[in-house]
Amino acid sequence: MDVIVCVKKVPDTAEADVSVGAGGREINKERLTFAINEWDNYAVEEAIRLKEEDEGTVTVVTVGGKDKEDILRRSLAMGADKAIRLDMEDPEDSFVLANVLYTLIKDQKFDLVLFGAQSGDFNSGVTGVMVARMLGISHAAMVNGIEVLDGRTKTSRELEGGLNEIYEIKLPALFTIQTGINEPRYVSISGIRKARKKELKVMTPADVGVTEVKPMLSLEKMYLPPPGKIAEIIGGSPEEAAAKLASLLKEKGAF
């Protein structure tokens, strides 16, 4: 099985203080650290497991500048065979990005294309599904289990409320991968060094034949949600805060 995985480098914003830049259209990135999108890491691991079970190749793809290559090297060290970086600015709009990825992927050999279910920066969760539509192949989103059958897969996807849905899907297909589908392996620094020998191909938009499409969305303004007026932060020592909270709950009729 030949698998293509699309990966993105995103900032870690879980605990970092995120602030909006002067232009109001971007967050300040200087003090943030960047790594492979968490969902994409699971997708790469899944692709490698599928390859290890069966024959085939894994190709990882990213759209962006040279500073994005470290996530490709890491994926190669994990066990991917080939990497492609499409050297252009990462488009802000998912539709434009989907069009770019479609143009690149359509000329590659593949049985399966994997995306992350969403990216940790904008959490939109649409790119993969749009690419599937453009390629004219079946897709499943939020996939948390893949079993390969003959020319088909048994694919489980996660629904709201803790439900699972299982489909038999004909290959080629495109899945967007949910975290938790596997346990990604550790990639050691010396593993990354050794993977330098593996192929990392840099392509230009002209090589691929990217055509210009009009964005569907444009980012007008970014701002942090203003603090709600009703919220009250209770200060003081844990004992004082607990006493205050208890009396507030009583006052508001919680007991």
Partner 1 sequence: MMEVEEGNFDEAYDVYACMQCGKCTGSCAVSLRSDLNIRELMRIAILNENGELEKHEEIWDCTSCGICTVRCPRDLKPAEVIVGMRSSLVEGGTIPITVRDALESVGTNNNPWGRPKSKRAEWLEDLDVKVKNISEGEDAEYLLYIGCTASYDPRIQSVSRAAINVLTKLGVDFGILGEEEPCCGSEPRMMGETGLFEMLVEDNLNLFDEFSISKIITLSPHAYNTFVNDYPECAKRLKEDDAEIPDIELEVKHYTQILEELIDDGRLDGEMMNEFSETVIYHDPCYLGKRNNIFEPPRKILNIIPGARCIEFDRREDRSLCCEGGGGRMWAEGTGTGERNSIIRVNDANRDEATVIAVACPFCLSTLEDARATAGYEETMRVMDIFEILDEVLK
Q: Does 62 bind ligand FAD (CB under 6 A)?
A: yes
SS3 166: strand
Region of 34 on the Ramachandran plot (φ > 0 left; ψ -120 to 50 alpha; else beta)? beta
**Distance of alpha carbon 120 from alpha carbon 101, whole angstroms:** 19
Query: Which one of 36, 42, 51, 64 is in contact with ligand FAD (CB under 6 A)?
Result: 64
CB neighbours of 187 closer than 8 A, spacing ≥ 6?
Answer: 74, 77, 78
Q: Which stretch binds partner 1 (CB under 8 A): 31-39, 80-88, 165-173, 223-231?
A: 31-39
Q: Which stretch binds partner 1 (CB under 8 A): 25-33, 135-143, 171-179, 213-221?
A: 25-33
Partner whose footprint covers residue 150, from partner 1, ligand FAD, none (CB < 5 to 8 Å by kind): none
Q: Does 178 bind ligand FAD (CB under 6 A)?
A: no
Q: Which stretch binds ligand FAD (CB under 6 A): 14-22, 124-132, 165-173, 198-206?
A: 124-132
CA dihedral 97, 99, 105, 107 (to 10 degrees): -150
**Distance of alpha carbon 33 from alpha carbon 44, whole angstroms:** 21
Asked whether the beta carbons of 67 and 40 are under 8 A apart, the reply is no
Q: Does 241 bind partner 1 (CB under 8 A)?
A: no
Q: Which run of H or of E encompasses 4? A: strand 3-6
Q: Does 78 bind partner 1 (CB under 8 A)?
A: yes
Asked whether the beta carbons of 1 and 111 are under 8 A apart, the reply is yes
Asked whether the beta carbons of 125 and 101 are under 8 A apart, the reply is no
Number of residues that this document lists for the chain: 255
Q: Cβ 98 to ligand FAD, closest distance in Å?
A: 8
Distance set, CA 123 to CA 10, 37, 71, 117, 206 (Å): 11, 10, 19, 9, 29
Query: Which one of 41, 119, 153, 179 is in contact with ligand FAD (CB under 6 A)?
Result: 119
Q: Cβ 5 to ligand FAD, closest distance in Å?
A: 7
The nearer residue to partner 1, 149 or 241, going by C-beta atoms, is: 241
Q: Does 53 bind partner 1 (CB under 8 A)?
A: no
The nearer residue to partner 1, 5 or 173, going by C-beta atoms, is: 5
Partner whose footprint covers residue 175, from ligand FAD, partner 1, none (CB < 5 to 8 Å by kind): none
Query: Which residues sit at the interface with ligand FAD, rule CB under 6 A?
Result: 6-8, 37, 39-40, 61-64, 90, 94, 97, 115-116, 118-119, 122, 124-128, 217
Site residues (vs partner 1, CB under 8 A): 12, 15-17, 31-35, 78, 183, 185-193
